[in-house]
Amino acid sequence: MRTKIKVVLAGVGLSGLLLTGGCGFQEDICGDGEYPAIAVGGQGGSACFPEGQEPTAPYVRYPEGKVPQHVDDEWDVYWRDHGIDANGTIIDR
Protein backbone atom coordinates (compact mmCIF):
# COMPACT_ATOMS: atom_id res chain seq x y z
CA MET A 1 0.00 0.00 0.00
CA ARG A 2 2.80 2.44 0.86
CA THR A 3 4.46 1.80 -2.51
CA LYS A 4 1.25 2.71 -4.30
CA ILE A 5 1.02 5.99 -2.37
CA LYS A 6 4.64 6.84 -3.22
CA VAL A 7 4.01 6.22 -6.91
CA VAL A 8 0.92 8.43 -6.89
CA LEU A 9 2.74 11.22 -5.01
CA ALA A 10 5.69 11.00 -7.39
CA GLY A 11 3.34 11.30 -10.37
CA VAL A 12 1.57 14.29 -8.88
CA GLY A 13 4.89 15.97 -8.13
CA LEU A 14 6.19 15.39 -11.65
CA SER A 15 2.98 16.76 -13.16
CA GLY A 16 3.25 19.88 -11.04
CA LEU A 17 6.87 20.36 -12.03
CA LEU A 18 6.03 20.14 -15.72
CA LEU A 19 3.13 22.56 -15.41
CA THR A 20 5.02 25.19 -13.42
CA GLY A 21 8.53 24.60 -14.71
CA GLY A 22 7.93 25.85 -18.23
CA CYS A 23 9.21 22.73 -19.93
CA GLY A 24 10.00 24.83 -23.02
CA PHE A 25 8.02 22.83 -25.60
CA GLN A 26 7.52 24.75 -28.83
CA GLU A 27 5.22 23.47 -31.55
CA ASP A 28 6.91 23.42 -34.95
CA ILE A 29 5.29 25.26 -37.85
CA CYS A 30 5.94 22.27 -40.15
CA GLY A 31 6.83 18.64 -39.67
CA ASP A 32 10.22 17.01 -40.19
CA GLY A 33 11.41 17.27 -43.77
CA GLU A 34 9.09 20.19 -44.54
CA TYR A 35 9.38 23.97 -44.74
CA PRO A 36 6.73 26.72 -44.52
CA ALA A 37 5.66 28.91 -47.43
CA ILE A 38 3.40 31.97 -47.44
CA ALA A 39 0.46 32.70 -49.75
CA VAL A 40 0.88 35.67 -52.08
CA GLY A 41 -1.45 38.55 -51.34
CA GLY A 42 -2.83 40.22 -48.27
CA GLN A 43 -5.06 37.37 -47.14
CA GLY A 44 -2.20 35.56 -45.46
CA GLY A 45 -2.08 31.87 -44.93
CA SER A 46 0.75 29.44 -45.11
CA ALA A 47 1.36 25.84 -46.03
CA CYS A 48 4.13 23.29 -45.58
CA PHE A 49 6.01 21.74 -48.50
CA PRO A 50 8.48 18.87 -48.63
CA GLU A 51 12.16 19.88 -48.60
CA GLY A 52 13.50 19.90 -52.15
CA GLN A 53 10.12 20.76 -53.68
CA GLU A 54 9.29 24.33 -54.68
CA PRO A 55 5.98 25.70 -53.36
CA THR A 56 3.04 25.70 -55.73
CA ALA A 57 0.90 28.77 -56.48
CA PRO A 58 -0.29 30.78 -54.70
CA TYR A 59 2.53 30.06 -52.23
CA VAL A 60 6.11 31.38 -52.25
CA ARG A 61 9.02 30.89 -49.89
CA TYR A 62 9.32 33.28 -46.98
CA PRO A 63 12.11 35.85 -47.36
CA GLU A 64 15.45 34.52 -46.11
CA GLY A 65 15.93 35.20 -42.41
CA LYS A 66 12.20 35.78 -41.86
CA VAL A 67 10.99 32.19 -41.81
CA PRO A 68 8.80 31.14 -38.87
CA GLN A 69 10.04 27.96 -37.21
CA HIS A 70 7.74 27.60 -34.18
CA VAL A 71 4.17 28.64 -33.39
CA ASP A 72 4.21 32.10 -31.80
CA ASP A 73 7.90 32.75 -32.50
CA GLU A 74 9.01 36.22 -33.66
CA TRP A 75 8.36 35.56 -37.37
CA ASP A 76 5.11 33.66 -36.87
CA VAL A 77 3.74 36.68 -35.01
CA TYR A 78 5.22 39.12 -37.58
CA TRP A 79 3.52 37.42 -40.54
CA ARG A 80 0.11 37.68 -38.90
CA ASP A 81 0.16 41.40 -39.77
CA HIS A 82 2.20 41.23 -42.99
CA GLY A 83 2.06 39.49 -46.32
CA ILE A 84 3.91 39.28 -49.62
CA ASP A 85 2.65 40.74 -52.88
CA ALA A 86 3.11 39.33 -56.38
CA ASN A 87 6.43 41.19 -56.71
CA GLY A 88 7.86 39.67 -53.52
CA THR A 89 7.48 42.91 -51.56
CA ILE A 90 6.45 42.68 -47.92
CA ILE A 91 3.09 44.39 -47.36
CA ASP A 92 0.99 45.31 -44.31
CA ARG A 93 -2.37 43.64 -43.94
Q: Cα torsion at 39, 61, 68, 63 (round to 10°)?
A: -110
- What are the backbone angles phi and psi of residue 17, rounded to the nearest 5°? -65, -45
Predicted local distance difference test score (pLDDT) of residue 65: 97
Q: Is residue 26 part of a domain?
A: no
Query: Is the confidence at residue 66, as pLDDT, over 90?
Result: yes
Please state the domain count of the chain. Answer: 1
Q: Is residue 84 part of a domain?
A: yes
Q: Is residue 39 part of a domain?
A: yes
SS3 10: helix
List, for residues 29-52, the tens digit of each pLDDT value. 999 999 999 999 867 699 999 999
Quickly state the pLDDT bin for 22 (edges 50, 70, 90).
Answer: low
Predicted local distance difference test score (pLDDT) of residue 14: 46
pTM of the model: 0.71
- 41, 6 Cβ separation under 8 angstroms: no
